[in-house]
Structure 1
Amino acid sequence: MVELAFSTNAYTRHSLPEAVRRIADHGYAGVEILGDDPHAYFPSFGDEETRSLREALDETGLDVSNVNANTAMGYYDDAPPSAFFEPSVVNADDELREWRVEYTKRAIDLAEAVGAPAVCVATGRPLPGNPPEQAREYLDQSLDAILDHAESKGVEVGIEFEPELLVECTDEVLELIEATGRDSLGVNLDVGHAAVYGEDLGETIRRSAGHITGVHLEDIVGGRRGKHYHRIPGEGDLDFGTVFDALDDIGYDGFATLELYTYPDEPDRAAEEAFDALAQYV
């Protein structure tokens, strides 16, 4: 049976242990850890921070659904608005790309330490001077190193596709998984991203059967070809009945994680209303 989790990336104005405790108060069975500033930014997230996190998890009884390593905004002293995925695993600069590979390995280490089954990683964009075919070669190199580490730790890696990134849809992520040929690589399936790209959500889920490392949920206004802005379920146009029916059809029994980083001013309202909107499905 699918269980609901909530990402700490809505609680960026709270410490990580406080975010865990607040999420537990709203009835969730799981929590996703933001692998970035101000929660688990790995160059500064050490043993003491891990102990504090584990204490909060033990106190609340929450499981960790995923470590979200899509972004590394903590890298910048003053991050530019479009820097969400940089330095990325497809960056043309060897040193920056290696920095991101090592960062992702640290996310995998945290996943092992807190019992999370997976981490998610976004590919980033092919920036000027780095055409998609070259970026794909860099992605393959990065994934080889990341997956070697993940397999040694018993952790899966889910690529989270998103429109405008190097891997931006179901076709591309499934092709990547097949070409890579490693069981530890899957898809962290964000249904809002699929909807914005124009995909049929039921078909997307069924095609991804056997490869889903985790699920991200949010509502989108406009559904297909809508604007990419994460909203509380019920505030947009997605049919969550279709989503959960398809997850049931393929026998998915992991977590579906609400990712509502767009509500930093009112994360408790977002968590409460999202749980109320989706509790009927789980």
Structure 2
Amino acid sequence: MAELAFSTNAYTEFDLPSAVRRIADHGYDGVELLADEPHAYFPDFDDGDREAVQAALDETGLAVSNVNANTATGYYDDAPPSSFFDPTLITADEDDRSWRIDYTKQAIDLADAVGAPAACVATGRPLPGTLPEEAHDYLRESLDEVLDYAEERDVDLGIEFEPEMLVESTDETLALIEDVGSSSLGINLDLGHAAVYGDDPAEAVHRAAGHITGVHLEDIAGGVRGKHYHLIPGEGDLDFRAIFDALDDVGYDGYATLELYTYPNRPDEAARRAYDALAEYV
């Protein structure tokens, strides 16, 4: 049976240790660490920061469900909002792509240090001038290097798909996993993203069985093919009973992490209401 965790990416008005402590106040068993500004952005995240986070984890007893390295907003000082994933593992510029490979390795290091089972990363979108076929080649080359690193540290890497990215669905992620052929590569299954793409979330769980490194949850208005905006469970149309039944069916016993970054001005309310809505399922 799954356990509930909450992502610190809702708590961007707080530093990372404070976010961990506040999440613990709402009854969660786990916490996902945001590997980006203003939390663990690695060019600025030093040993003292890591020790402060570990102290908060020790104090609260929370386990780390995942290290979320999907975005890298701190890289560009003047990037437009649409570029918050860049640079990515598919960026054509070799130096930028190398930076993202190293950044993902540092997310794996943090996962290893705090005892998290996995880190996750998104593929991003091919930038103008990069054909999808070229982007897939860059992705495989990047993953070869990152996964060797992950395997040595016994940390899994989950690809988090999202509509309109290079890898945007459950089936495309599973095809990538089969193609790469590494036991350390899996899927960080965001069931709201599955719904927006047009998949039934419970069916996505069944298809991804055996490859799930972590689960992200949020509600979606409009259900399948609804609007991609993360809502507190109960404010949209997803069937969470069916989702948790599916997780039980496939024997998933990891963390289901609420990802409610859309509530930075009221994260405690979002965390409390989400826990109250889903506690009966775990």
Structure 1 segment 96-175 matched on structure 2, within 5 A: 96-175=96-175
Post-superposition Cα deviations, 1:143-201, rounded to whole Å, max 9, x if no partner, equal 00110110111100000000000000011000000000010000000000000000011
CA distance in 1, matches of 2:221, 2:80: 26
Q: Which residue of 2 aligns with 1:268?
A: 268
Q: What 5-or-longer segments of structure 2 have no aligned partner?
A: none
For structure 1, list consecutive stretches of 5 or more residues without a partner in the other structure: none
The residue type paired with residue 161 of structure 1 is F
Shift in Å at residue 79 of structure 1? 3.1
Structure 1 runs, 4 residues or longer, greater than 6 Å off: none
State the TM-score, normalized to the length of structure 1: 0.99
Secondary structure of the residue aligned to 1:4 is strand
Give distance in 1, aligned partners of 2:100 and 2:199.
30
Whether 2:194 is the aligned partner of 1:181: answer no
Q: Separation in 1 of the partners of 2:131 and 2:251?
A: 38
TM-score of the superposition, structure 2-length normalised?
0.99
Aligned partner of residue 260 in structure 2, secondary structure: coil
- Counterpart residue number, 2:52: 52
User: Residue in 2 aligned with 1:86?
Assistant: 86
Percent identical among aligned pairs is 71
Match of 1:199 in 2: 199
Q: State the SS of the aligned residue for 2:82.
A: coil
String of CA shifts for 1:224-266, please: whole Å, max 9, x gaps. 1111000000000000011000000000000000000000000
User: Which amino acid in the other structure matches residue 85 of structure 1?
Assistant: F
Which structure 2 residues correspond to residues 236-247 of structure 1 after superposition, within 5 A?
236-247=236-247
Q: Secondary structure at the match of 2:244?
A: helix
Q: Aligned with 2:85: secondary structure? A: coil
User: What value does the CA root-mean-square deviation take over the aligned residues?
Assistant: 0.6
3-state SS in 1 of match to 2:188: strand
What corresponds to 1:253 in structure 2?
253
SS in 2 for 1:194: helix
Quick one: distance in 2 between partners of 1:137 and 1:214? 25
What residue identity is the alignment partner of 2:216?
H
CA deviation after TM superposition for structure 1 residue 46, in Å? 1.3
